[in-house]
């Protein structure tokens, strides 16, 4: 539901911007507020994303600028990705590896 509300708001503001009722700065601020929420990633999902792009744990760690042991701990469920790592997983999942390289 949150996603559909955000999409509706963004669409309305874009229309208002095109008609000159909302300036570009206000439009960008509203779009930033409607950024999709980044979900949590289970160990299985992390493995799935990594394998989808034929990456080793070391290669994924290198892309994220973290240690391979951190990726291993994510995949074992001993640790959860947080902050920028969650965002990077989200970007890779939605847009592909090319978005980061």
Fold category of 43-99 in CATH:
434 Repressor (Amino-terminal Domain) (1.10.260)
Residue 96, classed as helix, strand or coil, is coil
**Cβ–Cβ contacts within 10 Å for residue 33, how many?**
11
In the chain, what are the domain boundaries? 2-33, 43-99
- Going residue by residue through the chain, which has 101 residues, state the pLDDT in tens, using 9 for 90 and above: 566 777 888 888 889 999 999 899 998 888 877 776 788 999 999 999 999 999 999 999 999 999 999 999 999 999 999 999 999 999 999 899 998 87
Non-local (6+) Cβ contacts of 45 within 8 A are: none
């Amino acid at each position: 539901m949150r996603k559909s509300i955000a999409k509706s708001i963004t669409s309305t503001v874009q229309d208002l911007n095109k008609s000159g009722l909302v300036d570009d700065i206000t439009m960008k601020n509203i779009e930033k507020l409607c950024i999709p929420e980044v979900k949590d990633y289970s160990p299985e999902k992390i493995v799935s994303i990594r394998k989808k792009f034929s990456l080793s744990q070391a290669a994924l760690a290198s892309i994220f600028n973290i240690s391979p042991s951190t990726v291993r701990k994510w995949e074992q469920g001993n640790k959860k990705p947080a902050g920028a790592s969650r965002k990077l997983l989200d970007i890779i999942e939605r847009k592909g590896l090319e978005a980061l390289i």
